[in-house]
Amino acid sequence: MATTDSLKKNKNRDAIIETARQVFKKYGYDKTLMEHIAKAAGKGKSSIYYYFKSKEQIFQSVVLKEAVAFRHTIIDALRKTPNPVDKIKVYVLTRMNIIKIYTNFHSALKNEKLRHISFVRRLNALYDKEEIRLFKDILEEGANKNYFFVKNLDLAAMALIMAVKGIEDYVFRTDNAEEFTANIDQLLYLILHGVIIKE
C-alpha cells in the first residue's frame, strides 16, 4: 500500500510532467531549459532535479505519457468502428485530430534532430512495429469479411502506413486539415483502389 509521502511524491512528479508538456510544446526540446520547467511549475530548479535527473528524463516521461494517451485514443476509436474500410478512415482522421494535442510525441516520431536520444530511437522502432501490427489486423479482418483482397499483409500494411504518413506530412506542411478532412473519402478511395481502370 502506498504511503502518504509516496502519493505526494507521485502527485508532484505528475504535476511536473504535465507542466513540462506545455513547456516542451512551446519551446521545443532543444530550446527548453530546466529553468523554464522550474519557473512554469513554480518550483526551484533543485526541486525539479529531486524528481528528474535531466531534461532528457523529463522529456522521456512526457513523451511516454503522450504515447500511451495517443494509443488509447486510436484503439478506442477503432473498437467503436465495425467496418474494416471505415477503420482505416477513422484511424487516419483520429490520428490527424490528436497529433496536434500530443505534439511532444509527434516531435519524437518526426524530428530527426531528436534521434540522438536513445529512448527516441527505441520509441520509433516500437511505434513502427505497433503501427504495422495495427494495420495488419485491420487488413486481416477486412480480408476475412471479404472487404479486402490482400496477398501480402506485411507489404499492404507498410504501403498503407507510407500513404498515411505522406498525407500527414502534407497536412502539417500546408496546414490544410480542413481540406484534407473534406476530401478524406476520395483520398482513401485512391489509396485503396488506385487510378487504374478495372477491366
Residues shown for the chain: 199
* 11-29: pLDDT as tens digits: 999 999 999 999 999 999 9
Q: Could you list the mean pLDDT of each consecutive 10-residue stretch along the chain, which spans 199 residues? A: 77 95 95 96 94 96 96 95 93 86 91 90 92 94 93 92 82 71 80 72
Please choose, from the candidates 79, 73, 81, 131, the residue with its C-alpha nearest in 3D space to the C-alpha of residue 97.
73
Q: Domains in the chain, start-ordered, CATH in brackets? A: 1-52 (1.10.10.60), 55-193 (1.10.357.10)
On whether the CB atoms of residues 123 and 109 are closer than 8 A, the answer is yes
* 142-168: pLDDT as tens digits: 999 999 999 999 999 999 989 888 877
Q: Taking the alpha carbons of 61, 66, 71, 76 in that order, is the dihedral positive or negative? A: positive
pTM of the model: 0.85
